[in-house]
Amino acid sequence: MTNDDSTVSFGHQSDRVYIFDTTLRDGEQSPGATMTLQEKVRLARQLELLGVDIIEAGFPAASPGDFEAVRVVAQTVRNCQVAGLCRCVTADIDRAWEALTEAANPRIHVFLATSPIHMEHKLRKTPEQVLEMAVAGVRHAASLTKNVEFSAEDASRSDPEFLAKVVAAVIDAGATTVNIPDTVGYSQPAEYGSLIRYLRDHVSNIDKAVISVHCHDDLGLAVANSLAAVEAGARQIECTINGIGERAGNTAMDEVVMNLNVRRDYYKCTCGIVTEQIYPTARTLSHIVGMPIPANKAIVGANAFAHESGIHQDGVLKCRETYEIMDAAAIGKTGNDMVLGKHSGRHAIKAKVEELGYKLSDEQITVVSDAVKKLADIKKEIFAEDVEAIILEEIFRMPDKFKLKYLQVHAGNGPIPPNAVVIMDVNGEEKQLHNFGVGPIDAVFNTIGTIAGCKPDLEQFAVNAITGGTDAQGEVTVRLRRNSYSAIGRGSDPDILVASGKAYVNALNRLAKKVEENHA
């Protein structure tokens, strides 16, 4: 498909639900979830592997960084549509199209609020003016591509009659997808489904567009509302990996997809998601943004397939279907079986890496192999999660301005205060320092911050064991803030203090990158 004749690549099949992923745009608005350009491209490739239909890569007019992210993702992704968000303003639309011109199948996504509260207090415009703006914006976008989506922001709190009038007008102007968002997570499933039915019944040209829904989780109903809309006739769901997003988050992709999959008998709909890539994608995002997946998270949480009750365990042993309605393998989740040791060869390690869903070069496999053997000298049992932690630590870590080379910590309840000795590379120059702290972690962070010449505020510190056992690798997450910038860092190591140092340095590198990008 050429950019001169961009068309929607799917028709209006009644049983097909299209998955629109907005992790790179709305998901990134989740506090602390900012990604670098390289991380966005990496996630976009994983989303393509997952089989999403549309990737919303960003808001090109928002900043030079967003523009570049949309442009590079559009260049990279070839097997699904790439969308750029913009207001119903000519300059925004032109900027979005400029970023999307090299996409294999570009989509311009324009939005404008239609609820009384937004029109009066935010836009300060009359309904007539909003209708005029919506039509003008869509018409301009349609002059650039035939693949245009219009979103009626805060649709769930809009007057249904006015909303229907806007939807009909933008379809006439060239919109091929009309999105009916529950922007503030206010709607209830029954009334949201009724709103979709109302539009189907009262918009005469609704058959010329795909009805889309975009729900927020402020009341914990994003997934329920999205599924209610599908029952009512919506055929595109806008969602994010792990449900991340503004405030309480967006519709969780894994949850809506597995509802459609497990209860196909009820919804009688299909989607194109490769379900075996759901868990690897969830883990990829978790590592990129440094947000652990909650243990009780549906579908991808650590407890989703765990059984503590004796009655449940007995039932599962006799017949898995007694208490498990899904197979963990269906979402790509592997068990904790021991997989490797220090005598494992490159072929075994390469096979495990590929089983985890990573495609690495021979040189990268060698790096992982060496790290596995080094870890095996410390830790008897090497699990799949250990291998993944090594891949993310050794292969996908962003280029470092600061690099931790050596760390030694003294702690205890004796007369000598906790202290740390740190050797670091700072822009290629080796520096070392010995410093003290209230506790061992404080000593580590004080010493690293002094060497780096930057002591941001620590907003979050969390430690998790990657696997079971007292010799498990520790995974540390920190969130740092410096003025208006915040960043999450992550580090893993069998030594919690070393993992903490790695996480702190990782966060410092992310902060430095943000400052550089915003001053470029």
Distance CA 170, CA 131 (A): 9
Distance CA 247, CA 212 (A): 21
Distance CA 427, CA 315 (A): 58
Distance CA 162, CA 166 (A): 6
> Beta 402-410 vs 236-239: how paired, if at all?
unpaired
Task: Say if residues 136 and 171 touch (Cβ distance below 8 Å).
Answer: no
3-state secondary structure 305-318: CCCCCHHHHHHHHH
List residues bridging with 237 in a β-sheet.
19, 213
Taking alpha carbons only, the member of 93, 15, 19, 74 closest to residue 281 is 19
pLDDT at 475: 87
Residue 505 in tokens: 């340095």
Task: Say if residues 480 and 458 touch (Cβ distance below 8 Å).
Answer: yes
pLDDT at 8: 43
Taking alpha carbons only, the member of 256, 258, 260, 250 closest to residue 285 is 250
> Beta 419-426 vs 402-410: how paired, if at all?
antiparallel
User: In a 3-state reduction of DSSP, which class is residue 202?
Assistant: helix
At residue 67, what are phi and psi to the nearest 5 degrees? Answer: -60, -50
Extract the annotated binding site: 26, 214, 216, 250
CA distances from 169 to 65, 120, 209 (A): 33, 21, 12
Task: Say if residues 33 and 93 touch (Cβ distance below 8 Å).
Answer: no
pLDDT digit string (tens) for 48-69?
Answer: 999 999 999 999 999 998 999 9
Extract the annotated binding site for Mn(2+): 26, 214, 216, 250
Q: Residue with structure tokens 């490739």?
A: 45
Taking alpha carbons only, the member of 176, 249, 175 closest to residue 214 is 249
Task: Say if residues 52 and 19 touch (Cβ distance below 8 Å).
Answer: yes
**Residues of the chain predicted below pLDDT 70:** 1-13, 31-32, 307-323, 334-339, 397-399, 517-520
- What is the Cα Rg of the chain in Å? 25
Task: Say if residues 69 and 57 touch (Cβ distance below 8 Å).
Answer: yes
User: In a 3-state reduction of DSSP, which class is residue 99?
Assistant: helix
| Alpha carbon of residue 458 to chain centroid | 23
pLDDT at 516: 75
Distance CA 40, CA 47 (A): 10
